[in-house]
Chains A and B, each alone.
Chain A
């Protein structure tokens, strides 16, 4: 494998609150190869969004990335980078797409303003040049009559269109990595399909790597090259999409897959994972999934390591093979 675009090792992002330390992300490792799409799957509070924001250095106090974590972009250590350097990387080398397109564009600024400022934040170019680039980016994401659209305000766009604009903004500087935080969750299904298709095409065409954060396994199953499943701040399973979907090893992944409705489950009760995610403030010792796990044993009271059980397919479970 070639050198990864992004290499995250032992990422720990903790929130130091009055009630205690919330370990939102606690020891996450993964690589993203050039042009690869990694699906980061997990339920609310699993740490997937915090992982995304950590990569961009956008964690607000009281949260911070704990000493010993490492995020390398093409070999450059980001956790030790100066704020100015991080600002220069954000938007240019790593771009982000947010969940709710209704909220990501500033309602009182025109689309051209919001695009031009992004261009000029990283390149010393004239306004006209920046406008031309913005226009090209809109065309690239399939927006018709871009000149008219540039002069419009965000509220004059539909949700899908706004997300396209947000994607166009992310693409302005041809970043090496795009972190997409549930970008299709707020859209209706047909638009969702279009955006997914668009994202896949853009990654293939430009060699951009992508981390697609979502709670929806069905979405990443058709999109991602590899899938990482997160639970309570840790990756519990990671591997090629086909492996993870067809031969999951971790009981949590199985539970997730089992709870996706399909044609075969018609007329049957949907399976669900019993219980709730444990509070991040007081995680139990050992495997954090054990209280909800159908196959938990005595051994689960000590934390299992992420082990490569099959080639390229890792799981954090004592009973990975047994399951």
Chain B
């Protein structure tokens, strides 16, 4: 009788733990899009001065990023009209590979500048978290290649 009561109690405890787990997960609050800077400030405990520095870095990086976007779209459009094995196609693919390297290098420099604006520990954590999320398309086919 005592053993049965103990088993029932243990099962009840497990059930309550699981119910609390799934109920809490269901009430996850989603962040609105465009809120990345606020997330950055909260996640990496940025001071107002650090936030101001990072906003300036983002503003300086925006034109570089826009230019890269433009060149990516340009090469995509060109590759969409070229044959895979043609000389122009090969040249375009080489340009694409070079552009990917350039984009990655510029993005990494920006990330490192942002990390340098944070405290050392947070900066390392920032790089460890964000760098793996970058697209590295050096070995994949560019979009639109026939």
Partners in one complex: no
Q: Which residues of B are interface residues toward A (Cβ below 8 A)?
A: none
